Amino acid sequence: MKRHFTYKGFKIIIAVFLWFVLALQVLAQNRDVSITIHLRGVLESKISLMGLSGTKAFKTIVEVQGIKNGETAILKVPKENLPGEFVLRFDYKEKKESTPYPSEKNIIINDQDLELWASPMQVNNPDSTWLQKGEKENAAFVMFMKENGRQKEKLGLLQQFLANYDDTKSKFYLQGIEEYEIRRLAYNQWLNARVKDDRKLFVSSLYRFQFVPEVPWVGTEKERAFSVISHYFDGIDFNDAVITKTSQMNEWMNSYVNLHMQMATTTALRDSLVASAARTAVEKAKLGNPIVYGWMVDYFFRGFESNNLPTGMKVLQPYLDDPNCLTSKRMEIERRIKGMEKLVKGIKAPNIELKETNGTLFKLYDFNPASPYILLIFWSADCSHCVETVNAIFPWLQQVENKQKLPVVAISLDETETEIKVWEQKILQLVGWKHLRAADGVRSKVANDYFILATPVMIVLDTKTKEIVAMPGNLNELMTVKK
């Protein structure tokens, strides 16, 4: 069959091209950056660097072993990881017989080579660990945070007073509101001036997240929450693509989503509110830099996928055809939506053929226990949300009436040597389950057949027909299935 070149395909090609051009122009550094570290005060240390944002978040980017007291280590930070926020970690020994002990220092790296004199035992004491004179990013951030604390102190006291004062109609209270608003506007003006002054530095993008939105103190608590939500994005410049390289961007968006979730009284309302939050946030980001626009779609995709929220996933679908949306998850989102359309109640589940831990070949369609249902769990022992889910389900399934009605087939998508070791230890606690592992993780055939892009995912099957009965998102929904 011939493939026809479509307008949609052309738009996607343009989007990919635009992504590379903008990423190179806006985010990429011209060169790698080196960190020269002079070690002192300990016998020896391993030194490693981890990122705090992006695909390398909390993963080691570079490390050196066995640096002795008085020696110098040089870490080369690849340009594709810059600029960004990092954790510099020392696993040091005081004495030869000592067990390595960790200490960590947060550090900001842009385009300037750094030189650090470090005593791991006092790594965050400026008298013991310091950067070279003339260092820009970290020095500017320290100065900003000190002044920011002073600027916000009185504003915070006024905010606390207004939140707790009992007579909200008194003249005194109204004067407090007036004073608060004067100080809030003055603070935000100061903040904007600092962003402008340090605009050539990466840290200026971190300042923006300190913006204080408008709050109607004369309203109810619910009205205040709605106001904060409606003004939440006022202080952010969505044309600044560098904000996507900050760890604060993710934390800031988590707070935005939590504001919506706090208003939910039911699971259905929660899902609806979060989907609405996604639509609003993406539409705001859409007006800015395409990289920020794409980041926002990626952020909600990860959340919807990990929490199994199909209503949210559908919100993202219209943005996939927009060439200005530089999402790195385009193919994953399209695949997930396709899976949502195919894997529904009443559809026969794809067959599974994987080896159990004892070496026996497991075949789903040959598995016919004396129970009405089978529970499939796709999970990873290295995924905290998965472990929480498994830890909640396992005790419930130990109850005789549940154990007999719902045998478990747990498919691990752990891939790396470290992940596999964690999985091998964890399954020792999950006695009675059938444990399988797909060697290629989310790229495996079974993950592809079931459209699994993130874990955990639970699927309940009819034992006789192998038809899908339900896809519960948590224990409460699973308990409902069996009734």
Q: Is residue 347 part of a domain?
A: no
Q: What is the pTM of this model?
A: 0.67
Q: For the segment 39-86, what is each residue's pLDDT rounded down to a tens digit?
A: 999 999 999 999 998 766 788 899 999 999 999 999 999 998 999 999
Q: Is residue 328 part of a domain?
A: yes
Q: For the segment 394-433, what is each residue's pLDDT rounded down to a tens digit?
A: 999 888 777 677 899 999 998 888 889 999 999 999 998 9
Q: Is residue 289 part of a domain?
A: yes
Percent with pLDDT over 90 in the chain: 59
Residues 358 and 477 in one domain: yes
Cα angle 276, 281, 285 (rounded to 5 degrees) comes to 150
Spatial distance between the Cα atoms of 144 and 213, rounded to a whole number of angstroms: 19
| Domain end marker among 281, 306, 340 | 340
Q: What is the structure's pLDDT at 220?
A: 79
Q: Average of pLDDT values for 125-134?
A: 96
pLDDT class of 117 with cuts at 50, 70, 90: very high
> Could you give the number of structural domains in the chain?
4
State the average pLDDT for the chain: 87
Q: Is residue 346 part of a domain?
A: no
Q: What is the structure's pLDDT at 330?
A: 63
Q: Is residue 1 part of a domain?
A: yes
Spatial distance between the Cα atoms of 57 and 247, rounded to a whole number of angstroms: 9
Residues 313 and 419 in one domain: no
Residues 224 and 313 in one domain: no
Residues 253 and 228 in one domain: no
Residues 6 or more apart whose CB falls under 8 angstroms from that of 72 comprise 36, 37, 38, 39
Cα angle 350, 351, 353 (rounded to 5 degrees) comes to 140
Residues 280 and 334 in one domain: yes
Residues 459 and 359 in one domain: yes
Residue 20 pLDDT > 50, yes or no? no
pLDDT class of 139 with cuts at 50, 70, 90: very high
Query: Which of 85-94, 307-316, 440-449, 464-473 has the highest mean predicted lDDT (pLDDT)?
Result: 85-94
Q: Is residue 199 part of a domain?
A: yes
Spatial distance between the Cα atoms of 191 and 180, rounded to a whole number of angstroms: 16
Residues 357 and 477 in one domain: yes
Q: For the segment 149-174, what is each residue's pLDDT rounded down to a tens digit?
A: 999 998 989 988 998 888 888 999 99
Residues 110 and 46 in one domain: yes
Q: Average of pLDDT values for 313-321?
A: 83
Residues 65 and 125 in one domain: yes
| Domain end marker among 340, 373, 407 | 340
Spatial distance between the Cα atoms of 428 and 430, rounded to a whole number of angstroms: 6
Q: For the segment 268-283, what is each residue's pLDDT rounded down to a tens digit?
A: 898 899 999 999 999 9
Q: Average of pLDDT values for 331-351?
A: 76
Q: For the segment 168-226, what is each residue's pLDDT rounded down to a tens digit?
A: 889 999 999 999 999 999 999 999 999 999 999 999 999 999 999 988 888 777 888 88
Tell the burial category of 239 from Cβ atoms under 10 Å away from its Cβ (0-12, 13-18, 19+).
exposed
Spatial distance between the Cα atoms of 445 and 189, rounded to a whole number of angstroms: 55
- Residue 188: domain span: 146-235
Q: What is the structure's pLDDT at 9?
A: 43
Q: For the segment 224-245, what is each residue's pLDDT rounded down to a tens digit?
A: 888 889 999 999 999 999 999 9
Q: What is the structure's pLDDT at 11?
A: 45
Residue 408 backbone phi and psi in degrees, to 5? -110, 135
Residues 185 and 217 in one domain: yes
Q: What is the structure's pLDDT at 378?
A: 94
93, containing H or E segment: strand 84-93
Beta bridge partners of 374: 461
Q: What is the structure's pLDDT at 482?
A: 57
Residues 396 and 465 in one domain: yes
Between β-strands 114-118 and 33-39, what pairing exists: parallel, antiparallel or unpaired?
parallel
